[in-house]
Amino acid sequence: MTAPATAPTGFDLLQHIASTKGRHVMIRRSIVSKVAVVAISIAFGTTSASAHCDTMNGPVVTAAKLALQKGDVTPVLKWVKPEAEAETRAAFKQALAVRKAGPQARELADRYFFETLVRIHRAGEGAPYTGLKPATTPVDPAVQAADKALDGGASIDAVVKLVTGHIADGIRERWQRAEEAKRHANDSVEAGRKYVEAYVEYVHYVENLHLAASAAHSEHAGEATQAALHVHK
């Protein structure tokens, strides 16, 4: 027979709180990030926001190539969290050692380090690792514009115009559907339900976008943004 479980003591609870405090902060930040992803995704009419940190020509792999070329891990460390630095350094050291065995070993070692670095970076973002994507993988126009603005190839005003333009169009389209449905909401039960469906989509779209824009500046970001994860498409 197994011994009956004992109730946790006050000391046990204090230990649990102390050990999970940091994790709660990470979860709160992750919620804010996910809300932003959801909001931009629905604004651009996509099911998920497509970043390019996991592509072969993305900034993470580009930094990895530079690090391997120089034999210096420093260029990639900014892409990982402090707690993952040791794992990153170990993977880099292994890759450098294997690269010396010849061209084929060099190719395998590079691929190993690219995959390891991207996986660690994605974990730091709270995102799953789904493998390295080819350089030809389509990248969201907003991400492309954002990168160009940082590289001096475009104005930040172009980024703002692109993103806010899509958002404005999305708000207007949903308002128009809701407004049109409202005119006939009392014609029948079916018409009323169509209005409610259009209303919910319109209001939640606006709410999600507003929460994503303001959550980072809110003292109650974690609590305020949980509802925004329930997107009504």
Provide CB contacts within 8 A for 23, sequence distance 6+.
none
pTM: 0.61
Residue type at 162 in one-letter notation: L
> What CA–CA distance (Å, rounded) separates 120 from 64?
13
Confidence (pLDDT) at 26: 43
Confidence (pLDDT) at 153: 82
For residue 40, the tally of other CB atoms under 10 A from its CB is 22
Q: Is the separation of the CB atoms in 91 and 108 below 8 Å? A: no
Q: Is the separation of the CB atoms in 208 and 228 below 8 Å? A: yes
Domain ranges of the chain: 59-125, 141-229
- Over residues 117-139, the mean pLDDT reads 92
| Nearest partner of 162 among 174, 145, 149, judged by Cα | 145
User: Which of 30-34, 42-46, 127-131 has maximum average pLDDT?
Assistant: 127-131
**Higher-confidence residue: 84 or 30?**
84
**CA torsion, points 136, 165, 215, 200, in degrees to nearest 10?**
-100
**Higher-confidence residue: 202 or 35?**
202
Question: Is the Cα dihedral 222, 77, 98, 103 positive or negative?
Answer: positive
> What CA–CA distance (Å, rounded) separates 17 from 121?
27
Query: What angle (nearest 5°) sits at the alpha carbon of residue 37, between those of residues 34 and 40?
Result: 150
The H or E element that residue 76 is part of is helix 74-77
pLDDT score of 52 more than 50:
yes
Q: Is the separation of the CB atoms in 138 and 50 below 8 Å? A: yes
**Higher-confidence residue: 107 or 225?**
107
* 102: helix, strand or coil: coil
Under the banding of pLDDT at 50, 70 and 90, the label for residue 47 is very low
